Amino acid sequence: MNIWIPALVAVVVQPFVTLARIAPDYLASAQPLYGIGFLVLAVVAVAAAVVLLLGIPAFLVLRKFRRDGWMSIGTAGLLLGASPAALAWPRRLAGYSAGRNWHGNYVETYVNGAPTRYAWLAYGEDVLWFGLHGLLASLVFYAVWRALDRPGTPLRSTASAPTEH
């Protein structure tokens, strides 16, 4: 069972997901695109760490319990992708005020240290985006793993595969 190639593909797909996610903002901006290279490098570094430290062990556990279908692996990827972002919920920051661009409109995210509803909406959006990254990486991992493990067979769970008598 070689899982390193699917893991590598799951990491390599992440910059493309990120670039697709930020492309509308960057293309609409008159600013130069100087930071794209660093962004891609950072995304690859974080994705590699998450796949190595969380994704592969989760896959091995799912495989041990014969829950290595696309649904289980996708759910694990969604949860593993969203979990780190979910730990960074908006906290009370005494005396802090801030705002940001919220889909084209400037909104206050903190007023006198208290997070506003926009801080919570931005938090929810970030958790969903990171979950989407995890979901896509896990499904790409699954597709490549299945293609290498059993060439020419349809992509379905080994747990639900019919047994021959």
* Segments making up each domain of the chain, as ranges: 4-91+131-149
Residue 129's φ and ψ, nearest 5 degrees, are -65, -45
At 43, phi and psi to the nearest 5? Answer: -65, -45
**Closest CA relative to residue 124, chosen from 139, 104, 99, 102:** 102
Encode the chain (165 residues) as per-residue pLDDT tens digits. Answer: 688 999 999 999 999 999 888 888 777 777 777 788 898 999 999 999 999 999 999 999 999 999 888 999 999 999 999 998 899 888 888 889 999 888 888 999 999 989 999 999 999 999 999 999 999 999 999 999 988 887 666 655 555 555 544
What pLDDT is recorded for position 22?
84
155 touches 146 (CB < 8 A): yes
For residue 27, the model assigns a pLDDT of 77
* The predicted structure's pLDDT at residue 159: 54
φ/ψ bin of 104: left (φ > 0), alpha (ψ from -120 to 50), beta (otherwise): left
Nearest to 128 by CA among 78, 89, 75, 91: 78
Residue 154, both tokens = 């349809």
pLDDT given at position 156: 58
User: Is there a contact between 145 and 6 (Cβ–Cβ < 8 Å)?
Assistant: yes
Q: How far apart are CA 118 and CA 120, in angstroms?
A: 5
With tokens 């059993």, the residue in question is 150
Count CB-CB contacts under 10 A for residue 9: 18
> Alpha-carbon distance 10 to 24, whole Å?
23
